[in-house]
Structures are given as structure tokens and as C-alpha cells.
Amino acid sequence: MQRLTVVLVDDHAMVRSGVRAELGDAVEIVGEAGDVDEAVRVILATKPDVVLLDVHLPGGDGRSVLDACVDQVPNTRFLALSVSDAPEDVVAVVRGGARGYVTKTISGPELLDSVRRIADGDAVFSPRLAGFVLDAFTGGVAESDDELDRLTPREREVMRLIARGYTYREVAAELVLSIKTVETHVSAVLRKLQLSDRHELTRWASARRII
């Protein structure tokens, strides 16, 4: 099997070398970048399978990289990697086109698993991101007709299990589903997170852009 190509974008060289060491030989790191301009240049030049993208970068943020790249490299998937827990950071990059969000405390094998999943076109939700989704899609707004504004009961169950720290495999076992079905649900939630007009989401996203 061809090894996955990965670009690391993080302004701290120490973080980059740490991630590089954790991913090891399982993937091929084809480029690294420390700021927005460099990241855009490297991503457009190498067209990697996966970009590991820091949320905060000098010269902008992860969102600026996504805005500049997403349309031009349709086969590249972006996984946000951040130390920040702030909902507006998370929601901004996911709405900018990232297919997942994990924190830098993630273990090496888990990170590798996430990279593979992202490369397959699936979404990767950390427990915290699942919590944000539940928070944003729960209550507040009166029932909307738009299916983008609501989670199905099944999607809600999946999100709750992920928030409780279950892996996809464990979620599948708990709900008696196939892993593929769980992945489908998570991707559907990701799509809603990216496209919904729910005011909690737009508020977070717009707050981030103003700052």
C-alpha cells in the first residue's frame, strides 16, 4: 500500500518534530511549514493526502490556510491539531473545511488512526468537539424545518458516546451498528456543522473572524 503523504503546519518546530516522531514511518511527511504563507505554498506544491493544521499561526490562523487552499487541492484533507479548547477556534476551522479536530495531547497511535481516517474521507471528532456539537445543536432555537439545523436521534447518540470517550469501534458495538455506519453518521454531523446556520455556530465562527 502506498504510504500516505502528510504536511505538518505548526509554528513550533518542536511540535513538528514531536508529531513527526510519533507518526514515524507509517506516513511520508512531504513538507513542513511554520506560517500561513509558507503553509499555502507547501500545500499547493506537494498536494498531500492530509494536512495537520495548527489553529493558531503567525500571519493569520488555520482558517486563512484553509480559505487559501481548500478549493485548489480538492483531494487534500485537513485535520486541525490544536492546544486550544475554545469553541470558536474549533468551530472556525471545521467550518473552514477541516474534516476533524484533535488536541495536541492525543497519543501517537490515536493520531495515526485519525490521519488514516481523515485520508479515507471520514471525519474525526474528539470528545470535546462532540461536546461542542451537542451544545450547539441542543435547545435554544425553536424547532427548525431545516434538517441541517437538527441532529437525528441516532446522530445525537453517536455524538454522546464519542463525548463519553468511546472509540468508533466501541460506539459501533454499543449501538449494534457497523463501524462504517458510525462513520457515516459522524460525516453527516460534520456536514451539518459546516453548513448549518444555527446561530450558535455562526456566532462562534464570526467571533473568530473578527478577532
Site residues for another protein per CB under 8 A: 84-86, 127-128, 130-131, 134-135, 138-139, 160, 163-166
- Least spacing, CB of residue 25 vs another protein, in Å: 25
| CA within 13 Å, CB half, 16 | 18
Q: What are phi and psi of 84, to 5 degrees?
A: -85, 140
Q: Which is nearer to another protein, 3 or 164 (CB)?
A: 164
Query: How many angstroms separate the CA atoms of 211 and 207, rounded?
Result: 6
Q: Which is nearer to another protein, 32 or 54 (CB)?
A: 54
- Least spacing, CB of residue 84 vs another protein, in Å: 8
Cβ neighbour number for residue 174 with a 10 Å cutoff:
14
- Least spacing, CB of residue 44 vs another protein, in Å: 33
Q: Which is nearer to another protein, 47 or 154 (CB)?
A: 154
3-state secondary structure 92-153: HHHHHCCCEEEECCCCHHHHHHHHHHHHCCCCEECHHHHHHHHHHHCCCCCCCCCHHHCCCH
Q: Which is nearer to another protein, 43 or 163 (CB)?
A: 163
CB-based contact 150:138 (threshold 8 Å)? no
- Least spacing, CB of residue 169 vs another protein, in Å: 11
Of 66, 11, 76, 16, nearest in space to 45 by CA: 76
- Least spacing, CB of residue 207 vs another protein, in Å: 13
Q: Which is nearer to another protein, 139 or 153 (CB)?
A: 139
